[in-house]
Structure 1
Amino acid sequence: MTLLRRDRTSRPAALIATALLAGALLPLSLQSAAHASSTAPAAPSASPAPDGGDVIANLFEWNWLSVANECTTVLGPKGYGAVQVAPPEDSIRLAGSTHAWWDVYQPVAYDLNSRMGTEAQFAQMVTACHNAGVKVYADAVLNHTAGANQTSTDSYGGASFNPATYTYSNVPYDSSDFHFSPPCPNSDMSITDWNNVQQVQECDLSSLSDLYTEKDDVRAKLAGYLNKLVGYGVDGFRMDAAKHIAQADMANILSRVNNTTWTGSRPYVYQEVIPGSSGQLAPSAFEGNGSVIEFTYAYDLKSQFNGNIANLKTFGQSWGIEPSNLSSVMVTNHDTERSGQTLSYKDGSKYTLATVFELAWGYGTPQVYSGFDFSTSDQSPPADANGFVTATDCSSGAWICTDRNQGIANMVGWHNAAQGQSVANWWDNGSSAIAFSRGNTAWVAINNGGSAVTQTFSTGLAPGSYCDVIHGTPAAGGTCSGPTVTVNATGQATVTVNPGDSVAIYATGSNGTVAESFNENKTTSWGQNVYLAGSIPALGNWDPNAAIPLSSANYPVWGGTLSLPANTSFQYKYLIKDSSGNVTWEGGGNHSASTGSSGDTLNDSWQN
């Protein structure tokens, strides 16, 4: 809580057929509806394993019932790996205030009755998210309690406390559990030198009473709070103000925390460490306790999307960012969107495009931030008269539901499919438009300029028709609710990208598909090759430019195995292309077939 202080070559047909047979390269238009649909599947009788995705949906200060609903209806079906929720402990409620968003960052007790809901609702939320395959990461405030400058003794959960006397009866804490001067070198407990370790870690951050985390009793109580959350199923923690807790203290606290109950693994820890300090206070100095939140990444994205995104070709650790495996990256968060240090929803298409880039680039563990509309920096989330946060209504304009944006939500599946694939097939126009693939699995183009860009791109993908997931959602039977992109036999696609917009396609595994083999007996002349086209997107929708090349490995039989949607009827024909590009279709009527539930082998001879 920081705001208070501040070139691909053409591929032989035999190799294409081999890759498709292995199930490695399937058009997105063939993926199953169960994962792509925004309608939640029926809840299983027992909590399933997490889906393996790593994208975090940061639902800033959504109440627990709304988070549960989002996990069930959006995050799980779209493939988000985790949800970050607001600090769940009881916090101060300022008398007569407008209930600023930051009151939840002033803890007064470690029960879980907060302005987001009751402890029972919190537990229900975690279960609902797990049932949807989504992990839960809690924002954990360990550095401090409420500010000693506060006069309110009222909280959302009814705890007994008095910040002026450092008394927190429900924990309990008393004045011996807090830092004073000394050891803080400043008598007013302020931090004046952000490179001074003692000041940063033993003085008060923005008048917030700094806990004496060197004390064993304090460490035990903080670990007890984290273990309470783990007991309810929490899978990880965003460590608020981690820069202000000595690394040894944090290590000791974390050593007392249990393994998670859902997966039996260690909790995922990502720490708020604002860059700018050096040595022991630099972000890299905290990596022994977990990942760090990458503010520099977000600052750089703002700079490039307000400048020249072609520079992003080299974006990564060489820019001064922490290593990918230790970085939790973001486009914005609740602090930086208010300070203007990063892009935010107020930046319109630039914000959306930066989030698409974040999900596509594959650096670090990405966050998608969904907060609420604000006109003043302290503004409360939508709440009732007592400050309790009301249900999220994404249609009202009061909430900014970035996680539901069609293109961004569908890019989560793109991101998951591209895991482990390197950036390839980079293209840029020198300024405002870029395109790249992730290996041979996924491809994206981003146009941050003011006019449309039309280009024939090398995508790296296998031939076929792919759903543009920015403007449409794949559905059962290989259909797409929006436009499709045709990739030809050499992996190229001619695409128009509108200003302030993007286009993205990707290939998936064999979910909802079967292996269908085609063998065509045809003697050809030198320079001629046999192709396959048909009535469904995976067969190019009868477009000869999108026809599938077959292998001549068993000449005169030309063959290939494709992944087609299961239980789907289709028609198909063979055609010949010669070295001059001339196309000759097979004669006679169309062949008809159905994939069924297990696929088949279709043996044909050329019809005159």
Structure 2
Amino acid sequence: MQVISTLLQRRLVWLALLVSSTLFTPAASADAILHAFDWHYDEVAAKAGEIKDLGYKAVLVAPPLKSNAANCAWWQRYQPQDIRVIDHCKGNKQSFVNMINALNDANPARKVDVYADIVLNHMANERNGATDFPGQSTVNDYGNNSSYWNNQSLFGNLSQGLFGSGDFNPANCISNYNDVWQVQNYRLCGGGGDTGLPDLNPNSWVVQQQRSYLTALKNLGVTGFRVDAAKHMTIWHLNEIFTTGIKSGMYLFGEIITSGGAGNNEYDSFLAPYLAYTDHKAYDFPLFNSIRSAFGFGGSLSQLVNPLSAGQALQNSRAVTFTVTHDIPTNDGFRYLIMDPTDEYLAYAYVMGRDGGKPLIFSDSTGTDNGRWVNAYKADHIAKMLNFHNRMQGQGMEMLAWNDCAILFRRGQEGVVGINKCGSSQSFNVNTHGRFYWYRNYRDVLSGANLVYINGGSYNFSIPARQARMWYAD
């Protein structure tokens, strides 16, 4: 009976989310996020003008905290030693503030928001499993080099430590990732006797420090937070940290990795309750899995006509959409999620062309996979798709035609998107009455040509093999 009751509760949560999504459909907005993954803050600042010119509206940057500055491996940024200061291989508080200033602009239309990647679930796995942070040696260094560290300070008294043994949960490693209690109260461990990342206990002291940390970042000009490992935090803890004052004016989204949408155990156990009992946004892993399935062998692009209706996508207003995140290529356990390069290109056309969610563009600095995603933020196709995405701001969306190979949808009268995953061209003849401008060119943003000129009640849209078309009204 308990199992049946639990399943029923999960299904009701999903139904509530689905009903609310059908009742409230927000207007589209042009708000793509550049994930400047592991970029130095100085690099973001140096490219601020280019980022504005490309049309990004926000940049997600490396966690602003203290981590091991002597080790430049990307994962070090996710092992906090102290949240009261900013100092790591990719910058310090001074470079962080300079970056924010560079992304600001007197012209509101060109201002780029800064979203900080934040780590609140755990501290660093170091010093033989220590649970005193940042450790006495670091506290001594703060005192001995006070002129430097005072300039990197966000809040608090650096003459004292921040967390002690009483601020952590027991040192148990997660062994069952389907067990909600373990996932949210035990440690992430690497195996082979690894003691894991010390898991913070949400006592009043910890919550107070985390609130002070977020408030300090907000006061510096940060306008959004990505919550790393939100899946490993209780909803109670998240709601305690993110007060109304901290959330006001902020874009807040969490990382809760799932392998599907409604009906998938990870979704029902973690993501659906997170969405139901917080007002935060989240990575749209349900949509990502729909995309992978649709573009995969034997999949059908008809799966992308209305994935929300089947619980396989998040509400538009709650979704951060993507084709790849930093965890996928850099963590062995997720590399199977890497898409074929052409499929990823076509998936970007879908994510950037559709109405709904904030598209996130991953641009890597680690050089993984022979530099596949290095400088992806300004790749020719991304720049052109971003141009289309911004042009379509405020336009609604209608699916026009689809089959297993291809999909065609319009964005108001201003644009139309066609995507073909198969090895032969696909054509759709559609009724144009009230849907498109007549006697006016539509130009494909990807090629700059392939003009569509409509002068009658129907038009035959053709999409070449393994290609996308994103036509906009000239």
Higher Rg: 1
C-alpha deviation, 1:93, in angstroms: 5.2
Counterparts of 1:462-477 in structure 2 under 5 Å? 462-463=437-438, 464-471=440-447
Map Cα deviations across residues 67-109 of structure 1 (whole Å, 9 max, x no partner). Answer: 22444213x2233221111212111357xx7x43211100001
2:164 to 146, 170, 174: 174
Aligned to 1:271: 254
Give the 3-state SS of the residue equivalent to 2:118 in structure 1. Answer: strand
Aligned to 1:208: 197
Structure 2 CA distance for aligned equivalents of residues 491 and 343 of structure 1: 42
C-alpha deviation, 1:195, in angstroms: 3.9
Aligned to 2:89: 115
Structure 2 CA distance for aligned equivalents of residues 280 and 456 of structure 1: 40
Counterparts of 1:397-546 in structure 2 under 5 Å? 397=371, 400-424=374-398, 426-428=400-402, 430-453=403-426, 460-463=435-438, 464-471=440-447, 482-490=448-456, 496-507=462-473
C-alpha deviation, 1:504, in angstroms: 0.9
Letter aligned with residue 188 of structure 2 = L
Structure 1 CA distance for aligned equivalents of residues 254 and 34 of structure 2: 16
C-alpha deviation, 1:221, in angstroms: 1.0
Change (3 A) 1:61 1:311: same
Structure 2 CA distance for aligned equivalents of residues 483 and 78 of structure 1: 20
Structure 2 CA distance for aligned equivalents of residues 286 and 109 of structure 1: 27
Aligned pair 1:144/2:127, yes or no? Answer: no
C-alpha deviation, 1:369, in angstroms: 1.5
Letter aligned with residue 497 of structure 1 = I
Map Cα deviations across residues 556-577 of structure 1 (whole Å, 9 max, x no partner). Answer: xxxxxxxxxxxxxxxxxxxxxx
1:320 to 295, 312, 315: 312
Q: TM-score, normalised by structure 1?
A: 0.60
C-alpha deviation, 1:372, in angstroms: 4.2
Give the conservation status (yes or no) of the 8 Å contact 1:485–1:495: no
Map Cα deviations across residues 403-447 of structure 1 (whole Å, 9 max, x no partner). Answer: 21233223223223434444325223x322222112222111112
1:292 to 275, 282, 289: 282
Give the 3-state SS of the residue equivalent to 2:123 in structure 1. Answer: strand
Counterparts of 1:274-353 in structure 2 under 5 Å? 274-275=257-258, 277=265, 281-287=269-275, 288-306=278-296, 307-338=299-330, 339-344=334-339, 347-353=340-346
C-alpha deviation, 1:129, in angstroms: 1.6
Structure 2 CA distance for aligned equivalents of residues 195 and 456 of structure 1: 47
Change (3 A) 1:277 1:145: farther
Structure 2 CA distance for aligned equivalents of residues 467 and 105 of structure 1: 44
Change (3 A) 1:169 1:198: farther
C-alpha deviation, 1:271, in angstroms: 0.8
Q: For structure 1, which runs of at least 5 residues remain unmatched after alignment?
A: 1-50, 163-167, 181-187, 260-264, 377-395, 472-481, 508-537, 539-608
Change (3 A) 1:324 1:52: closer
**Matched residue count:** 402
C-alpha deviation, 1:151, in angstroms: 7.5
Structure 2 CA distance for aligned equivalents of residues 290 and 456 of structure 1: 41
Structure 2 CA distance for aligned equivalents of residues 209 and 77 of structure 1: 42
C-alpha deviation, 1:293, in angstroms: 1.6
Aligned to 2:79: 106
Give the conservation status (yes or no) of the 8 Å contact 2:419–2:468: yes
Map Cα deviations across residues 23-47 of structure 1 (whole Å, 9 max, x no partner). Answer: xxxxxxxxxxxxxxxxxxxxxxxxx
Structure 2 CA distance for aligned equivalents of residues 302 and 91 of structure 1: 35
Higher normalized strand content (fraction of residues): 1
Structure 2 CA distance for aligned equivalents of residues 453 and 402 of structure 1: 28
C-alpha deviation, 1:175, in angstroms: 1.2
- Percent identical across equivalent pairs? 28
Change (3 A) 1:92 1:257: farther
Aligned pair 1:192/2:175, yes or no? Answer: yes
C-alpha deviation, 1:161, in angstroms: 7.3
Aligned to 1:579: none
Change (3 A) 1:412 1:491: farther
C-alpha deviation, 1:123, in angstroms: 0.8
Aligned to 1:218: 206
Give the 3-state SS of the residue equivalent to 1:136 in structure 2. Answer: strand
1:366 to 348, 359, 371: 359
Give the 3-state SS of the residue equivalent to 2:88 in structure 1. Answer: coil
Change (3 A) 1:485 1:88: same
Aligned to 2:42: 65
The alignment yields a C-alpha RMSD, in angstroms, of 3.3
Change (3 A) 1:150 1:416: farther
Higher relative contact order (CA 8 A, sep 6+): 1
Q: TM-score, normalised by structure 2?
A: 0.76
Map Cα deviations across residues 114-158 of structure 1 (whole Å, 9 max, x no partner). Answer: 2211211111111222223211111100000101575899x99x9
Letter aligned with residue 501 of structure 1 = Q
Structure 2 CA distance for aligned equivalents of residues 492 and 401 of structure 1: 41
Structure 1 CA distance for aligned equivalents of residues 168 and 99 of structure 2: 33
Give the conservation status (yes or no) of the 8 Å contact 1:372–1:398: no
Change (3 A) 1:432 1:278: closer
Map Cα deviations across residues 471-512 of structure 1 (whole Å, 9 max, x no partner). Answer: 2xxxxxxxxxx32513222376666533322111224xxxxx
Map Cα deviations across residues 266-318 of structure 1 (whole Å, 9 max, x no partner). Answer: 31110112236569842121121411222222122111111322332232241
Give the 3-state SS of the residue equivalent to 1:90 in structure 2. Answer: coil
C-alpha deviation, 1:218, in angstroms: 0.8
Change (3 A) 1:497 1:277: closer
Letter aligned with residue 342 of structure 2 = S
Give the 3-state SS of the residue equivalent to 1:340 in structure 2. Answer: helix
Map Cα deviations across residues 317-340 of structure 1 (whole Å, 9 max, x no partner). Answer: 414333222222221101123423
Higher normalized helix content (fraction of residues): 2
Give the 3-state SS of the residue equivalent to 1:437 in structure 2. Answer: strand
Structure 1 CA distance for aligned equivalents of residues 98 and 459 of structure 2: 47
Map Cα deviations across residues 336-368 of structure 1 (whole Å, 9 max, x no partner). Answer: 234234334xx2111111011011122322212
